[in-house]
A and B are shown apart, each in its own frame.
Chain A
Amino acid sequence: MKKALLVAIAVLLLLVPLLHFAFPPGHPLHLSEFYVGLLGKFLCFAICALALDLIWGFGGILSLGHGLFFALGGYGMGMYLMRQIGRDGQYQAELPDFMVFLNWKSLPWHWALSDSLVGQIFLALAVPGLLAAVFGWFAFRSRIQGVYFSIITQALTVAAMLLFFRNETGFGGNNGFTDFKRIAGLAITSPGMKVGLCMASGVALIACYLIARWLTNSRWGRILQAIRDAEGRVRFLGYDPVAFKLSAYVISALMCALAGILYVPQVGIINPSEMSPAASIEMAIWAAVGGRGTLLGPVLGAFFVNGTKSVFTVWWPEGWLYVLGALFIAVTLFLPTGLVGLARRFKK
């Protein structure tokens, strides 16, 4: 039953974007470009919620800095997209516009791979992965736990945000990257590209879900849960919790980076606001609303919260943050297992 449901969801995710082509505009089943873009965005958010759930729901480690890994993935992709603009920018120069504006004569060293899509995607995964590995190793080795870990990750993303705000770091300052024109020579605004990116996000979500399911069903996943519930006991069984927490943290960071890579070409902009504390906290809310410790829950939570957000920002924009806060409080107080827990309760 559950398996059939999952397969149905997976098929739907892959077929829904195609509705854009399958039916002409005006047909009730036609999916407009706006909704294709929105679906693609939500799919990326769902990957983030899933990634956060892996370490929070199963490992008990609440990271409030996962927006950093998402943004680093996005920036990595953005660098490639900036170079793809070519001479079509405002200054019609070989260099990206913001570099011309800053009077730079050549590309900085960290833009060395920005010509190549594959090279840049590699960087967009490797850099956040490496950062998570180094930061995580120090944090977990020093046995930083609970709220202290949350605060430190939050500080890390704020520090990165301040760094990316500066013009001299070579990431476009507070404007970030935008005005993208094409990917691999193909126009980024073409309907085919939009549907393609949306489907790629669907594939990525399904792949991340399957990886997470395989991991959480393995002995590794059970040890991760054991660390969440009684870390000392795990140590006295002879396991090194650092290795398990660190691998979970790095895998989770890589998933977020992948989401960022797919997100940026779909929304057409990346700037340091993605590293703001609020962005990371929102990810935690998606996971909590959907249901921590279940894999489907955070995916549903990301769709539910962002869907509500889309409605509210049109209908009552000033009210959204209050609604979000109320939602979080309600879930914490009445639904510790989130929407999935609610569904299970009704089933009984």
Chain B
Amino acid sequence: MTPELLEAGSEARSRALTRIATAGEPIFNQGVALYVEDLKVAFDGFQALGGLSFTVGVGELRCVIGPNGAGKTTTMDCITGKTRPDSGRIYFGSNLDLRQMSEQQIARAGIGRKFQKPTVFEALTVAENLELALAGDRRASFAMRARLNGEQRDRLDELLKTVHLAEERERVAGLLSHGQKQWLEIGMLLAQDPKLLLLDEPVAGMTDEETERTAELFLSLEGKHSLVVVEHDMSFVATLASTHRTVTVLHEGQTLAEGTMAAVQADEKVIEVYLGR
């Protein structure tokens, strides 16, 4: 066989693999975990997103900052299927067209989301909250007879330790402190074992110590998962972004600047938006 034929074959194979789909596993053959292009959303005439574009690499930890109303939460809503954009493209991997998928399909494909306001199931215990989030069969008929197996039990114990809630295991989630609820929700996110984690203001309401631990946790996930962290807390973002990670600055529904923390902070447009003239 000639090298040309081999090359043509592999190209054809790659094309077949990346056929646009609306279900199944994402394919990361181009090193891109999330691809957002020219996203536009308007609510009653208010342009929440005005042509937003950015990409997140596989295994990358990306920080997104921006003033109030910049479109951070709307972006998350579009990626997770909660809000349908008016136009633009959103791809998970190089094959999954998120605009065509429902919220639960997107979640099953491997995108986990932490809400701005901690959202846990208050009537259930900490362990039950995590159990529901554990990856596995999501059908109602399965849930009627589902039991945790040994492997899942171990995973649950491990998660409880990771989010420092091992002692609160049997406690009803509604009785946890604000910071603990944030941790529980992060734990639920990890239990889903998502390929891409979207974290909307994950350290809001946390103590300094909790914030520090959270930063450590996210950094330990880098590489294994792709992460997008939306945050107001500048010192937290500075810790996460360090000197080499990319920070995206949103403003009025568009990408204002992108680069390292130092580069972004030195950007004139960013200074203008944040500090005013």
Interface set of A (CB-CB < 8 Å, partner B): 215, 218-220, 222-223, 225-226, 228-230, 232-240, 243-244, 246-247
Other-chain residue from B120, B123, B128, B131 in contact with A233 (beta carbon distance below 8 A): B120
Residues of B within 8 A of A230 (CB): 119-122
Query: Which B83-123 residues have a C-beta within 8 angstroms of A?
Result: 102-104, 107-108, 112-113, 115, 119-123
Residue of B nearest to A227 (CB): B121
Residues of B within 8 A of A219 (CB): 131-132, 143-144, 146
Question: In the bound complex, do residue A223 and residue B143 qualify as a contact, i.e. CB atoms below 8 Å apart?
Answer: yes
Bound-state Cα–Cα, A215 to B145, Å? 9
Residues of B within 8 A of A244 (CB): 140, 143
B192 at the interface (CB under 8 A from A): yes
6 extra A-B contacts, CB within 8 A, seeds A219-B144, A229-B123, A233-B119: A219-B143, A220-B140, A222-B132, A223-B132, A225-B123, A235-B104
- Nearest 7 CB-CB pairings of A with B: A238-B107, A220-B143, A243-B140, A238-B108, A226-B121, A219-B146, A235-B103
Q: Which of A218, A219, A244 gathers the greatest number of chain B CB atoms within 10 Å?
A: A219
Query: Which B146-161 residues have a C-beta within 8 angstroms of A?
Result: 146
Residues of B within 8 A of A232 (CB): 82, 103, 115, 119
Other-chain residue from A218, A228, A233, A235 in contact with B143 (beta carbon distance below 8 A): A218
Bound-state Cα–Cα, A247 to B143, Å? 11
Interface residues on B, range: 20 to 34
**Interchain nearest-CB distance for A171 vs B (Å):** 34
Other-chain residue from A215, A226, A235 in contact with B124 (beta carbon distance below 8 A): A226
**Interchain nearest-CB distance for B154 vs A (Å):** 18
Other-chain residue from A222, A236, A243, A246 in contact with B113 (beta carbon distance below 8 A): A236
Residue of B nearest to A244 (CB): B140
Question: Contacts A237-B132, A243-B139, A244-B143; is A225 near B121 (CB within 8 Å)?
Answer: yes
Count, A-B residue pairs, CB within 8 A: 79
Question: In the bound complex, do residue B124 and residue A222 qualify as a contact, i.e. CB atoms below 8 Å apart?
Answer: yes
Q: Which of A215, A218, A234, A238 gathers the greatest number of chain B CB atoms within 10 Å?
A: A238
Question: In the bound complex, do residue B144 and residue A215 qualify as a contact, i.e. CB atoms below 8 Å apart?
Answer: yes
Residues of B within 8 A of A225 (CB): 121, 123-124
Question: Contacts A215-B144, A218-B146, A219-B132; is A240 near B123 (CB within 8 Å)?
Answer: no
Question: In the bound complex, do residue A222 and residue B82 qualify as a contact, i.e. CB atoms below 8 Å apart?
Answer: no
**Interchain nearest-CB distance for B231 vs A (Å):** 19
Other-chain residue from A228, A229, A239, A247 in contact with B104 (beta carbon distance below 8 A): A239
Other-chain residue from B80, B103, B128, B144 in contact with A220 (beta carbon distance below 8 A): B144
B138 at the interface (CB under 8 A from A): yes
Question: In the bound complex, do residue B107 and residue A236 qualify as a contact, i.e. CB atoms below 8 Å apart?
Answer: yes
Bound-state Cα–Cα, A228 to B112, Å? 21
Bound-state Cα–Cα, A140 to B143, Å? 19
Task: Give me 27 A-to-B residue pairs in the complex whose CB atoms sit less than 8 angstroms apart, sorted by A's number.
Answer: A218-B143, A218-B145, A219-B131, A219-B132, A219-B143, A219-B146, A220-B140, A222-B121, A222-B124, A222-B128, A222-B132, A223-B132, A223-B143, A226-B132, A233-B115, A235-B103, A236-B112, A237-B107, A237-B132, A237-B133, A237-B188, A238-B107, A238-B192, A239-B132, A240-B102, A240-B138, A243-B140
**Interchain nearest-CB distance for A223 vs B (Å):** 6
Residues of A within 8 A of B139 (CB): 243
Residue of B nearest to A233 (CB): B119
**Interchain nearest-CB distance for B175 vs A (Å):** 14
Bound-state Cα–Cα, A219 to B131, Å? 9
Bound-state Cα–Cα, A218 to B132, Å? 11
Residues of A within 8 A of B128 (CB): 222
Question: In the bound complex, do residue B107 and residue A229 qualify as a contact, i.e. CB atoms below 8 Å apart?
Answer: no
Residues of A within 8 A of B145 (CB): 218
Question: In the bound complex, do residue A229 and residue B122 qualify as a contact, i.e. CB atoms below 8 Å apart?
Answer: yes
Residues of A within 8 A of B132 (CB): 219, 222-223, 226, 234, 237, 239
**Interchain nearest-CB distance for A284 vs B (Å):** 20
Residues of B within 8 A of A234 (CB): 132
Residue of B nearest to A237 (CB): B133
Other-chain residue from B103, B140, B143, B144 in contact with A236 (beta carbon distance below 8 A): B103
